[in-house]
């Protein structure tokens, strides 16, 4: 399959959150974290860290805009013996007086039986629409290790239940490193396929992420070709789509439950609330995407290949970055006039002090 490197580079760049949103995501959470750490209204652990980033933003698996940023706050062990809603009440109180320059005071929301976190909305003065959201989640950390199993309020606010958000982040990082950085980009691309072809309905973004995680983690796709050559990005994406469909797309018959999408750390079904109607639409969408790509699997037709991928990802995101293409063209010209092999790669001769010079040569053969 044609690698379409320029397009896949452009795709990943286009899936980055807008720069202004990235700036907010970098700026606001530390303010909230510092505020809670200093507040007397909420008892937190004594030992650092008192809070951590979590969620897709924390794991760098965001695809598109940043809808919100999740922060977990390690509250004092003493909350375990109190009614769960007390910690949410204290956290709400502590966040009430949060002041951030340029924004009106955050509206703090804790909806009973809907959220197990405090939802902070930031509004610009005079605006009714929140400019940014932060979800602050209280957790109890049994030991010193923040990546171990933690306790989080259940949705009914009746008890503490286990969770391991940072443990999953750690596992994902390890898996990504083990696969030479292939996992996270594929997760982001897979989320985009769902978003483009099925903007409404479930699976939730996190379920999609976990499905891809399991495909890599369980070795449902080959790491390399037979002799050790690698797969290019379009080949990898098609493999993942097929593997996800094979693992999770077989429960369409009437009477069958929707598939079990296991929490990567704790093993429970995170997709237990997947409506069958949404599931059937998702399987149809996935099957359609696979058919579209399979049609150009063995094609060397560039235009047809680009068109097929644009259908799957969306024309607006699957496009080349002209600046990058121009930079690559300049690099190609530089390599054509003098290059070195340095660090296992070819670079323009001017870029490497050391390395093996590529002697002048001219390709010949049969064109």
Partner 1 sequence: MLEHRPAVTRTRRKPWVWRCKISTRHGGQVYVIDIDGDIRSGGGVKIWCREPALVLEPVTGRPPHTFDDGSLCVNDRSPNDYEFIAFTAVPWLYSWLFFYEHWLDTGEWVGPQVAGHEVGRGPSATPEKKPPSAPKASRPPTPKRTRGEAA
- CA nearest neighbour of 347 among 360, 362, 361, 332: 332
Shortest distance in whole angstroms from residue 7 CB to partner 1: 9
Spell out, one character per residue from 179 to 198, where the chain touches partner 1: x when CB under 8 A holds, - when not: -xx-----------------
Residue in this structure with the two tokens 């239940």, named with its chain if needed: 161
Q: Does 358 sit near partner 1 (CB under 8 A)?
A: yes
Applying CB under 8 A, the span of 28-36, 89-97, 206-214, 333-341 interacting with partner 1 comes to 333-341
Q: Does 100 sit near partner 1 (CB under 8 A)?
A: no
- CA nearest neighbour of 75 among 98, 39, 51, 52: 51
Shortest distance in whole angstroms from residue 312 CB to partner 1: 19
Applying CB under 8 A, the span of 79-87, 136-144, 208-216, 222-230 interacting with partner 1 comes to 222-230
Dig out the tokens for 284 from the structure: 């149809």
- Near partner 1 in 285-324, by CB under 8 A: 300-302
Is-contact 40 97, C-beta < 8 A? no
Q: Does 225 sit near partner 1 (CB under 8 A)?
A: yes
Sign of CA dihedral 12, 15, 21, 26: negative
Q: Does 273 sit near partner 1 (CB under 8 A)?
A: no
Q: Does 353 sit near partner 1 (CB under 8 A)?
A: no
Residue in 48, 81, 128, 360 binding partner 1, rule: CB under 8 A: 360
Is-contact 61 210, C-beta < 8 A? no
Q: Strand, helix or coil at 134?
A: strand
DSSP run (H or E) holding 133? strand 130-140
Find out whether the peptide bond into 325 is cis, omega within 30 degrees of 0. Answer: no
- Binding residues for partner 1 (CB under 8 A): 2-6, 180-181, 224-232, 300-302, 328-329, 332-333, 335-336, 339, 341, 343-346, 356-367
């Amino acid at each position: 399959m044609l690698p379409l490197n320029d397009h896949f580079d452009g795709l990943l760049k286009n899936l980055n959150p807008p720069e202004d949103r990235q700036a907010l995501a970098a700026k606001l959470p530390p303010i909230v974290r510092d505020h809670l750490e200093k507040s007397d209204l909420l008892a937190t652990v004594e030992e650092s860290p008192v809070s951590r980033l979590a969620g897709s933003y924390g794991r760098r698996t965001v695809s598109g805009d940043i809808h919100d940023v999740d922060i977990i706050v390690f509250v004092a062990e003493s909350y375990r013996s109190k009614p769960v809603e007390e910690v949410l009440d204290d956290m709400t109180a502590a966040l009430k007086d949060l002041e951030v320059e340029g924004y009106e005071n955050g509206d703090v929301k804790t909806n009973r039986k809907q959220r197990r976190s405090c939802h902070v909305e930031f509004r610009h003065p005079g605006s009714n629409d929140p400019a940014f959201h932060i979800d602050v989640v209280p957790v109890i950390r049994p030991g010193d290790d923040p990546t171990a199993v933690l306790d989080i309020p259940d949705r009914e606010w009746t008890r503490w239940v286990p969770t391991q958000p940072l443990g999953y982040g750690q596992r994902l990082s390890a898996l990504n490193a083990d696969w030479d950085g292939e996992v996270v980009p594929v997760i982001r691309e897979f989320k985009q396929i769902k978003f483009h072809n099925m903007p409404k309905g479930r699976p939730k973004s996190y379920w999609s992420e976990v499905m891809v995680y399991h495909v890599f983690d369980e070795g449902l796709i080959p790491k390399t070709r037979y002799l050790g050559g690698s797969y290019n990005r379009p080949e990898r994406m098609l493999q993942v789509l097929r593997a996800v469909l094979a693992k999770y797309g077989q429960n369409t018959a009437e009477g069958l439950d929707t598939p079990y999408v296991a929490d990567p750390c704790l093993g429970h079904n995170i997709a237990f609330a997947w409506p069958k109607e949404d599931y059937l639409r998702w399987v149809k969408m996935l099957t359609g995407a696979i058919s579209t790509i399979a049609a150009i699997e063995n094609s060397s037709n560039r235009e047809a290949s680009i068109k097929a991928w644009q259908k799957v990802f969306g024309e607006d995101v699957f496009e080349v970055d002209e600046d990058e293409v121009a930079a690559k063209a300049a690099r190609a010209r530089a390599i054509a006039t003098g290059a070195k092999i340095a660090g296992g790669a070819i670079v323009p001769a001017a870029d490497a002090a050391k390395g093996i010079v590529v002697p002048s040569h001219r390709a010949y053969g049969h064109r």
